[in-house]
Structure 1
Amino acid sequence: MHPISPLRLPTSGRGKTRPPALAQSAVRIAVCLALAGLPGMALAAPEASANGAQSGGADSATDLDAVLVVAQRASRVSNGATNLDLAIKETPQSISVVSQEQMQQFGTDSLNDALRLATGIQVEEWETNRTNFTARGFDIANTQIDGVGLPNGWGIVTGAQDTFGYEKLEVIRGANGLLTGVGNAAGTINYVRKRPTNDAQGSAGISYGSWGTVRGEVDYSTPLTADGTWAGRVVAAHEEGDSYLRGKDDTRDFIYGVVDGQIGENGTLTLGYSWQEGKTDGNMWGALGFMYSDGTQAEWDRGASTTQDWTYWDTTTRTAFVEYTHQLGADWLLKLSYNRRDVRNDEKLFYATDLAGTGMDPETGLGLYGYPWGGHDKLTADLLSAALNGHFQMFGRDQEMMLGVAWSKSENNSSQYAAMCGEAACSYIPMPAFPWPGDHVEEPVWGESSVYSILDERLKRAYGATRLSFTDKLKAVVGFNYAEYHREGVNYGVAFNQTESQTSPYAGLTFDFTSNLLGYVSYSDIYQPQSQSDADGRYLDPTKGKNYEIGVKADWLDKRLLTTLAVFKAEQNGLATGAGYNEIGQFYYTGVDVESKGVELEATGKLTDHIDMVFGYTALKLTGQDGDDTYRWVPRRTANLLLSARLPRYTALSFGLGGRWQSDISNVESNGFTVRQDSYAVFNGFVGWDFLPNATLRFNVNNVGNEKYINTLRYSGYYGAPRNYALSLNWRF
Structure 2
Amino acid sequence: MTQRNTFFAPARNLNRAVRDAVLCLSLGLVASHVQAAEPVVSAIQIDIQTGTLDGALAQLSRATGLNIVFDQRVLATKASPGLHGRYTPAAALNQLLASSGLRAVALGDGGYQIIEMAREDGAVELGATTIQSKGLGETTEGTGSYTTGVTSTATKMNLSIRETPQSISVITRQRMDDQHLASITDVLNQTPGITMSQDGGERFNIYSRGSAINSYQFDGVNTSQQNETRNMPSTLLDMALYDRIEVVRGATGLMTGSGEPGGVINLIRKKPTREFKSYVKATVGAWDNYRSEADVSGPLTETGNIRGRLVAAKQDNHTFMDWYGQKREIVYGVVEADLTDTTLVRFGVDYQKYRSTGSPGVPLLYTNGQQTNFSRSTSSGARWMYDDFETMNYTATLEQQLTNDWKLRVVTNYMDVDRDADLGWYRSTSGATYLDQQTGGASAERAKISADQVQKGVDVNVQGTYDLFGRSHDLVVGYNYSDYENNHDSLSGGNTNFNFYTWDNYLARDSYRPSVLLDIKTRQSGYFVANRFNLTDELHLLLGARLSNYSYDYSFTSRISGLNTPRHMRETGEVSPYAGVVYDLTPEQSVYASYTDIFQPQSSQDKDGQVLAPVVGKNYEMGWKGEFYNGRLNANAAVFVVERDNLAEIDPGQTTPSGSSAYRAVDGAKTKGFDLEIAGEIAPGWNVQTGYSHARTEDADGKRLTTQLPMDTFRLWTTYRLAGEWEKLTVGGGVNWDSSKSLTFTDVKNAKAKDDDYAVASLMARYQVNDHLSTTLNVKNLFDEKYYSGMAGSYGHYGEPRNATLDVRYDF
User: TM-score, normalization: structure 1?
Assistant: 0.86
Instruction: Within 5 Å, give how 1:85-124 maps onto structure 2.
Output: 85-124=158-197
Query: How far 1:354 moved relative to its partner?
Result: 7.5
Amino acid at match of 2:618: K
Aligned equivalent of 1:586 = none
Q: Deviations over 1:235-291 (max 9, x none)?
A: 00000011111111211000101111111332110000000011111124xx42222
Equivalent residue for 1:607?
682
Residue 357 of structure 2 corresponds to residue 387 of structure 1: no
| Structure 2 residue aligned with 1:640 | 715
CA distance in 1, matches of 2:428, 2:570: 39
The one-letter amino acid of 1:132's match is N
TM-fit CA distance, 1:75: 7.0
Quote the Cα distance in structure 2 between the aligned partners of 1:242 and 1:558.
44
SS in 1 for 2:12: helix
Please tell me whether the aligned partners of residues 35 and 234 of structure 1 are also in contact (alpha carbons under 8 angstroms): no
TM-fit CA distance, 1:624: 0.7
Q: 1:403 to 1:558 in 2, by over 3 A?
A: closer
Q: Is the 8 A contact 1:646 1:655 kept in 2?
A: yes
Which deviates the most, 31-40 or 204-213? 31-40
Q: 2:439 aligned with 1:364, yes or no?
A: yes
- Cα deviation, 1:3-49, whole Å, max 9, x if unaligned, reads xxxxxxxxxxxxxxxxxxxxxxxxxxxx8644431133210112211
Residue 408 of structure 1 and its aligned partner are, at CA, apart by 2.2
Shift of residue 226 of structure 1?
1.7
Measure, in 2, the Cα distance between the counterparts of 1:358 and 1:615: 38
How far apart, CA to CA, are the structure 2 residues paired with 1:664 and 1:391?
49
1:388-422 deviation digits (Å, cap 9, x = unpaired): 111110121111110011222222100012x5xxx
Secondary structure of the residue aligned to 1:45 is: helix
State whether residues 472 and 534 of structure 2, in contact with CA within 8 Å, keep that contact through their aligned partners in structure 1: yes
Secondary structure class of the residue paired with 1:320 = strand
* 467, 476, 500: which one aligns with 2:571: 500
* Distance (whole Å) between structure 1 residues aligned to residue 405 and residue 252 of structure 2: 26
Q: Are residues 104 and 560 of structure 1, via their aligned partners in 2, closer, same or farther at CA, if it must alter by over 3 Å?
A: closer
Give the Cα–Cα distance (whole angstroms) in 2 for the partners of residues 90 and 219 of structure 1.
34
Give me the whole-angstrom Cα distance separating, in 1, the residues matched to 2:108 and 2:4.
30
SS at match of 2:6: helix
Corresponding residue for 1:731?
Answer: 810
Cα 1:631/1:531, change in 2 over 3 Å: farther
Deviation at 1:713, TM superposition (A): 2.1
The answer as to whether partners of 2:251 and 2:617 remain within 8 angstroms in 1 is no
Equivalent of 1:167 in 229, 232, 243: 243
**Residue pairs, 1:656-695, within 5 angstroms:** 656-669=732-745, 670-671=747-748, 672-695=750-773
Question: How do 1:196-215 and structure 2 match up within 5 A?
Answer: 196-215=272-291
Q: Equivalent residue of 1:635, what SS?
A: coil
| 1:528 and 2:498 matched | no
Amino acid at match of 2:459: S
The answer as to whether partners of 1:53 and 1:226 remain within 8 angstroms in 2 is no
CA RMSD of aligned residues (A): 3.0
Amino acid at match of 2:15: A
Residue 281 (structure 2) pairs with residue 187 (structure 1): no
Choose which of 624, 638, 645 in structure 2 pairs with 1:566.
638
* Whole-angstrom distance in 2 between the partners of 1:390 and 1:248: 51
Shift of 1:437: 1.5
Which shifted more, 334-343 or 495-504? 495-504
Give the gaps of 5 or more residues in structure 2.
Answer: 27-67, 71-104, 110-128, 140-149, 558-563, 606-610, 650-662
Return the alpha-carbon distance in structure 2 between the equivalents of residues 129 and 151 of structure 1.
Answer: 17
The number of residue pairs the alignment matches comes to 670
- Contact 2:222–2:482 under 8 Å retained in 1: no
Amino acid at match of 2:544: G
SS of structure 1 residue aligned to 2:407: strand
2:407 matched to 1:407? Answer: no
Match status 1:305 vs 2:383: no
Structure-2 separation of matches of 1:306 and 1:85: 47
Q: State the AA in 1 paired with 2:508.
A: E
Aligned positions of 1:614-629 closer than 5 A: 614-624=689-699, 627-629=702-704
Structure 2 counterpart SS, 1:547: strand
The alpha-carbon distance between structure 1 residues 600 and 227, as it changes in their structure 2 partners (threshold 3 A), is: same
CA distance in 1, matches of 2:380, 2:590: 52
C-alpha offsets along residues 679-722 of structure 1, whole Å, 9 cap, x if unaligned?
10111211110011111111111111111011222322221111
| SS of alignment partner, residue 49 of structure 1 | helix
Deviation at 1:227, TM superposition (A): 1.8
- Give a deviation string over 1:22-80, Cα, whole Å, max 9, x none: xxxxxxxxx864443113321011221144399995879969xxxxxx99x98765422
Query: 1:684·1:701 contact (CA, 8 Å) conserved in 2?
Result: yes
Who is 1:16 aligned against? none
Paired amino acid for 1:633: Q
Quick one: structure 1 residues 162 and 75, their matched pair in 2 at CA, closer, same or farther if it must change by over 3 Å?
closer
Quote the residue 2:427 is aligned against.
Answer: 353
- The yes-or-no answer on 1:127 pairing with 2:200 is yes
CA contact 2:447–2:494 (8 Å) conserved in 1 = no
SS at match of 2:175: helix
Report Cα offsets for 1:183-205 as digits up to 9, x if no partner.
43211111111001111001100
Superposition deviation, residue 361 in structure 1 = 3.5
Q: Summarize deviations over 1:523-573 as a string: whole Å, max 9, x none.
A: 01221357999xxxxx99853131110001124567653220100001123
Q: How far apart are the structure 1 equivalents of 2:617 and 2:516?
A: 35
Matching residue of 1:141:
214
* Separation (CA, whole Å) in 1 of partners of 2:247 and 2:775: 30
Match of 1:262 in 2: 338
Contact 2:358 2:380 in 1 (8 A): no
State the distance in 2 between where 1:53 and 1:232 align.
Answer: 23
For 2:412 and 2:195, locate their aligned partners in 1 and report how far apart those are by CA, in whole Å.
Answer: 31
Give the C-alpha shift of residue 209 in structure 1: 0.6
The SS at the match of 2:222 is: coil
**In structure 2, do the counterparts of structure 1 residues 53 and 477 end up closer, same or farther at CA, with 3 Å as the change threshold?**
farther
Secondary structure of 2:13's counterpart equals: helix
SS in 2 for 1:47: helix
Whichever residue aligns with residue 201 of structure 1, its letter is K
Shift of residue 625, structure 1, vs aligned partner: 5.2
Going from structure 1 to structure 2, the CA distance change for 1:357 and 1:120 (only over 3 Å counts) comes to: closer
Cα drift, residue 340 of structure 1: 0.3
Q: How does 1:205-284 map to 2 (within 5 A)?
A: 205-284=281-360
Residue type matched to 1:40 in 2? Answer: P
Decide whether the 8 Å contact of 1:520 with 1:552 is kept in 2.
Answer: yes
Structure 1 CA distance, aligned partners of 2:217 and 2:755? 33
- Give the match for residue 584 of structure 1: none
For 1:455-514, what per-residue CA distance to the aligned partner results, in whole angstroms no more than 9, with x for missing partners?
Answer: 122111100111110000000111111111112241231123321131111011000112
Structure 2 vs 1, CA of residues 267 and 110 (structure 1 numbering), >3 Å: closer, same or farther? same
SS of aligned partner of 1:40: helix
Q: Secondary structure at the match of 1:196?
A: coil
The match for 2:415 among 338, 341, 345 is 341
Contact 2:732 2:764 in 1 (8 A): yes
Matched, 1:40 2:18: no
1:341-368 CA-to-partner distances (Å, cap 9, x unmatched) read 01111011124238895764433233x2
Q: Distance in 2 between matches of 1:75 and 1:676?
A: 42
SS at match of 1:505: strand
* Contact 2:427-2:434 at 8 Å conserved across structures: no
- The more displaced of 85-94 and 541-550 is 541-550
Seen in structure 2, the aligned counterparts of structure 1 residues 530 and 191 have a Cα distance that, compared at 3 Å, is farther
- Letter of the structure 2 residue corresponding to residue 104 of structure 1: D
List alignment gaps of at least 5 residues for structure 1: 1-30, 64-69, 420-425, 534-538, 578-588
Would the alpha carbon gap of residues 74 and 123 (structure 1) be closer, same or farther in structure 2, given more than 3 Å must change? closer
* Greater mean deviation of Cα atoms: 497-506 or 621-630: 621-630
Kindly indicate whether the alpha-carbon contact (under 8 Å) linking 2:203 and 2:227 is maintained by their aligned counterparts in 1.
no
Q: Contact 1:283 / 1:313 at 8 angstroms: preserved in 2? A: no
Distance across 2 between alignment mates of 1:127 and 1:378: 20
Deviation at 1:590, TM superposition (A): 12
Among all aligned residue pairs of Structure 1 and Structure 2, give the percentage whose two residues are the same amino acid: 28
Distance 2:733 2:808 in 1: 19
